[in-house]
Chain A
């Protein structure tokens, strides 16, 4: 039974006592603002709503429920670190538990947009600080001393004057009767003991001993296994299904068709895989069956004559180009890319008359519930979603297709079922990073100043494939940014650092081309543009000039920009998702080919919460950006991908990694996120260094197909640079 002591102030912190004598604080993430807390006494531990709170058991164990999906960004470690910091908790006695979806208690249970820490920073700190305040009050009361004389350390309240101390566990019961403070003071960052240090993954032991953590590991007695045969190409639909033979295979329970899906349901994965091979499904055309060649032609024609959406326009671009002493024009292109998380898509669904249970790896549990609710016409209150650990996401698991189909299948077969995708299913039927072509143009006046700048982006299901307010917008008098979208049956979606994962490379390479053409040092060229944006801004500026300048200078300094002998250096800097990262890439020629040796990165993500996790995000992001720029290629023939699995789709491996050095700007601003921002600049830094080493500009991904690596010229459908 729940007795609310003060229900009017329940917005943010809730306090609960356990039968065992501990207390719990839950926080309501619905409010963005940090509001006053209140107390709820609970008579039994069993009916405590197990979501997003910290609890302190009599033995001192502190539990924190982490509401956001964990996919390797290390949120399961970073979130509790923030709470433990303000609580002055003994980190060795903190336990972390992944919370399920609960929109009544949590806000933004999403992994995406590098947004979790920036969003929850103050909430988490306040939760820790509030509990600490109450523990101090409880101790002060017991000792009959002023609270101001008490301090905390390692899960103890200390009264130095009388040489007494009490553990948080001992105080928990009393602390929960203390009125929750309206305002608590948060620590000064100079007093941080946990934040900013390198803290190890809280799940390490479980990960390294093979404990079931991931969606694919989920098992429940009585559940069935299923795989789905989806159309083999984009633009096809089912014409006929012959499942007779498949149904007769051992271990097969059912074969059902819904929409364009044919689901084989059975008692084990292997039996289902075998039966799926003997399914006979005929398809017919349902839309255009597009090939990569078609896309190349389309890019050319849309680039020249397509009707564009103007995203930003400053000054008089036409005049600037007409009056230019020099015009530089260049095109860049990237292919589609699959997300390729190591764990394939999968989801468990149990659709029963009394409600729906969904369990699996998702970056967006709330959207999953909404989509299932709509499809099956079941109110959201009757649907639960539990997030497992995600074996990578990269944006793929922001989509709800794979969870919704599991629910649909369960509702048809009226049984609990786990749907598993093969790697081939992921690669051939997934949702991809859109293919895009960009054309950049720069007008240069007689003094070598960039007086005009044009960017036109053409994308396939890419929406607006520009970021019109990013640098160098604001630093050029006359500027035009426009985009064109081609709508295709090929499904696309957010892919780690959406759009900017390629746009940054194209833009940073083009700026390098301009710097080279005007005979300026590429770093100085950017600093001059930033200075121009600072002193005499053009239109709206949405990036922070100081932060961008800060990482630019730091990366250049750490890399010894321009001072090293025997290596060719390339530079790139980019702002994405609120954070700034600059990189210097170093290339050496080996056997006549460029070899990428080092990448030196400077990141400004505000306060670094976990130094170990932050370094991982930078190194992982760079390896991801580099690997995909070098090798990533998904091509199409008649709507079907030419690559099906890791034998034909190349991912970076250990032998190919450059050495990576990471540096962080220490400016004390609140965290601004780091899951994505390290990725975008990498391709540009690498391509620019390769240019320095070889004199060749790489304007298409994957780099590995360029003549600097193959020794053979490939015919490009793009316009290469023209300098007039």
Chain B
């Protein structure tokens, strides 16, 4: 199997996997980074969202072979101490129910705020609409994105 050199959370990591292996499973099964979640595997739910060169991307359909020059950030690497403004806002608003979708939600929100630090409510909803929360924590997710935008 080919070895892939990956840049994840600022570290150079190597994975010995088939070329078509989605980044999601490389992270989870080979690199021990399980914060990125599997929800649907077909780019519908956003649970697997990571940043590729700073942009929110669904890792479940992203083959590892195309990533050799990409900078990947996962929830584990979003901030050193878990204190990214979005993470802080998530704590303050007490967003999570089961919490399974939240890493993906946070990564989507962080990427939005990077591009647009002061999004309107409509922009927040349009962006976050791609991430499913089966527990229905949407009200607090929306509130937390708004709060995070005041911290950036």
CA distance in complex: A622, B100 (Å): 19
Is B57's CB within 8 Å of the partner chain A? no
Contact B139 A660 (CB under 8 A): yes
Contact indicator per residue, chain A 579-620, by CB within 8 Å of chain B (1) or not (0): 000000000000000000000000000000000100010011
Q: How far is the CA of A440 from the CA of B132 in the complex (A)?
A: 36
**A645's contact among B40, B97, B133, by CB below 8 Å, is which?**
B40
Q: How far apart are the CA atoms of A210 and B18 in the complex, in Å? A: 25
Asked whether B147 is an interface residue with its Cβ less than 8 Å from the other chain, the reply is: no
Please, how many angstroms separate the alpha-carbon atoms of A225 and B129 in the complex? 32
User: If the complex has contacts A201-B94, A203-B99, are A342 and B137 also in contact, measured as CB distance less than 8 A?
Assistant: no
Known: A268-B25, A271-B18. A209 touches B87 (CB 8 A): yes
Query: Contacts A612-B94, A654-B125, A657-B139: A207 and B102 contacting too (C-beta < 8 A)?
Result: yes
Q: Which of A268, A341, A389 has the most CB of B within 10 A?
A: A268
How far apart sit A519 and B39, CA to CA, in the bound complex (Å)?
49
Q: How far is the CB of A655 from chain B (nearest CB, A)?
A: 5
* Complex contacts, A214 vs chain B, CB 8 Å: 37, 100
Docked CA distance A624–B102 (Å): 17
Interface range on chain A (Cβ under 8 Å from partner): 35 or more
A394 to B135, CA, bound (A): 9
Query: Quick check: is B136 within 8 A (CB to CB) of the other chain?
Result: yes
A72 touches B91 (CB 8 A): no
Contact indicator B133/A342 (Cβ below 8 Å): yes
Asked whether any CB of chain B lies closer than 8 Å to the CB of A422, the reply is: yes
Distance in angstroms from B134 CB to nearest chain A CB is 5
Shortest beta-carbon distance, A657 to chain B, in Å?
5
A205 and B91 contacting across the interface, CB-CB below 8 Å? yes
Contacts of B40 on A, CB cut-off 8 Å? 423, 645-647
- Residues of A whose CB lies within 8 Å of any CB of B are 71-74, 198, 200-201, 203-205, 207-214, 216-217, 219, 225, 250, 268-271, 274, 340-344, 389-394, 422-423, 612, 616, 619-624, 627, 645-647, 651-655, 657, 659-660
Contact A208 B94 (CB under 8 A): no
Q: Any chain A CB within 8 A of the CB of B150?
A: no
When distances are taken between beta carbons in the complex, the residues of chain B under 8 Å from A271 are 18
Query: Contact: B90 with A620, CB < 8 Å?
Result: no
The answer to whether B8 has its CB under 8 Å from any CB of chain A is no
Nearest CB of A to B6, in Å: 15
Q: Are the CB atoms of A343 and B142 closer together than 8 Å? A: no
Instruction: Say yes or no: B41 contacts A389, CB within 8 Å.
Output: no
- Say whether chain A's binding surface is mostly helix, strand, loop, or mixed: loop
CB < 8 Å neighbour of B33 from A210, A250, A274: A210
- Nearest CB on B from A366, distance (A): 21
B binding-site residues for A, Cβ under 8 Å? 1, 17-18, 20-22, 25, 28-30, 32-42, 44-45, 47, 74-76, 78, 82, 87, 90-91, 94, 96-103, 106, 125-126, 128-142
> 7 smallest A-B Cβ distances: which pairs?
A210-B35, A623-B136, A391-B100, A72-B98, A72-B97, A210-B75, A646-B44
In Å, the complex CA distance between A72 and B97 comes to 4
Residue among B30, B38, B76, B130 facing the most chain A CB atoms (10 A cut-off): B38
| Cα distance, A616 to B97, chains bound together (Å) | 7
Residues on B with beta carbons closer than 8 Å to the beta carbon of A216:
34, 37-38
Instruction: Provide the bound-state CA to CA distance between A597 and B96, in Å.
Output: 24
On whether A71 and B87 interact (CB within 8 A), knowing A211-B35, A623-B136, A627-B136, the answer reads no
> Which residue, A201, A340, A646, A655, has most C-beta atoms of chain B within 10 A?
A646
A342 touches B37 (CB 8 A): yes
Residues on B with beta carbons closer than 8 Å to the beta carbon of A213? 99
Query: When the two chains form the complex, which single residue of A250, A269, A274, A654 contacts B138, counting CB atoms closer than 8 Å?
Result: A654
Evaluate whether A72 and B139 lie within 8 angstroms (CB atoms) in the complex, with A216-B38, A342-B37, A343-B37 already known: no
Contact A270 B29 (CB under 8 A): yes
Q: Are B87 and A623 in contact (CB under 8 A)?
A: no
Tell me how far the C-beta of A526 lies from the nearest C-beta in chain B, rounded to whole angstroms: 27
Q: Is the CB of B47 within 8 A of A72?
A: no
Q: Tell me which residues across on chain A come within 8 A of B82, comparing CB atoms.
A: 205, 208-209
Contacts of A203 in B (CB 8 A): 96, 99
With beta carbons under 8 angstroms apart, the residue of A73, A269, A624, A659 that contacts B29 is A269
B44 lies within 8 A of A72 (CB):
no
The residue in chain A whose Cβ has the minimal distance to the Cβ of B81 is: A209
Name A341's contact: one of B32, B75, B106, B134 (CB within 8 Å).
B134
The answer for the CA separation of A653 and B142 in the assembled complex, in Å, is 12
Could you list 16 examples of A-B contacts with CB < 8 Å? A72-B99, A74-B97, A200-B94, A201-B94, A208-B82, A209-B82, A210-B74, A269-B28, A270-B21, A274-B20, A344-B38, A619-B139, A620-B97, A646-B132, A655-B129, A657-B136
Chain B residues whose C-beta falls within 8 Å of the C-beta of A623 in the assembled complex: 136, 138-139
CB pair B22 A270 closer than 8 Å = yes
C-alpha spacing A73/B25, complex, angstroms: 29
Minimum Cβ distance to chain B for residue A613 (Å) = 8
One of A201, A250, A269 near B96 (C-beta < 8 A): A201
Q: How far is the CB of B93 from chain A (nearest CB, A)?
A: 9
Bound complex: CA A225 to CA B30 (Å)? 12
Q: Are B44 and A645 in contact (CB under 8 A)?
A: yes
B62: min CB distance to chain A, Å:
12
Q: Contact at B39–A208, with CB atoms within 8 Å?
A: no
- Cβ of B113 to closest chain A Cβ, rounded Å: 15
Contact A620 B137 (CB under 8 A): yes
Supplied contacts A72-B96, A214-B37, 9 more A-B pairs, CB within 8 Å? A201-B99, A208-B75, A210-B76, A211-B35, A342-B133, A343-B39, A344-B38, A616-B97, A646-B44
Q: Is there an interface contact between B39 and A342, defined as CB atoms closer than 8 Å?
A: yes
Determine the distance from Cα of A274 to Cα of B18 in the docked complex, in whole angstroms.
11
A542 to chain B, nearest CB (A): 29
Inter-chain contact B98/A390, CB cutoff 8 Å: yes
Q: Which B residues are in CB contact (< 8 Å) with A344?
A: 38-39
Known A-B contacts A422-B41, A646-B42, A647-B44; the reply to A208 vs B139 at CB < 8 A is no
- What is the CA–CA distance of A207 and B105 in the complex, to the nearest angstrom? 12
Interfacial chain A residues near B98, Cβ < 8 Å: 71-72, 341-343, 389-393
Give A249's nearest chain B residue, CB to CB.
Answer: B18
Q: Which of A391, A423, A652 contacts B41 (CB 8 A)?
A: A423
Q: Which chain A residues lie closer than 8 Å to B102 at the CB level? A: 207-208
> Which B residues touch A71, using CB under 8 A?
98
Bound complex: CA A209 to CA B79 (Å): 8
A423 to B45, CA, bound (A): 11
Docked complex Cα distance between A72 and B99 (Å): 7
Task: Say how far B108's CB is from chain A's closest CB, in angstroms.
Answer: 11
Residues of A within 8 A of B101 (CB): 342
Closest chain-B Cβ to A478's Cβ sits at a distance in Å of 40
Q: Which residue of B lies closest to A653 (CB)?
A: B129
How far, in angstroms, from A378 to B30 measured CA to CA in the complex? 34
Q: A620 contacts which chain B residues (CB < 8 A)? A: 97, 135-137
CA gap between A647 and B40 in the complex, in Å? 9
Q: Are A342 and B91 in contact (CB under 8 A)?
A: no
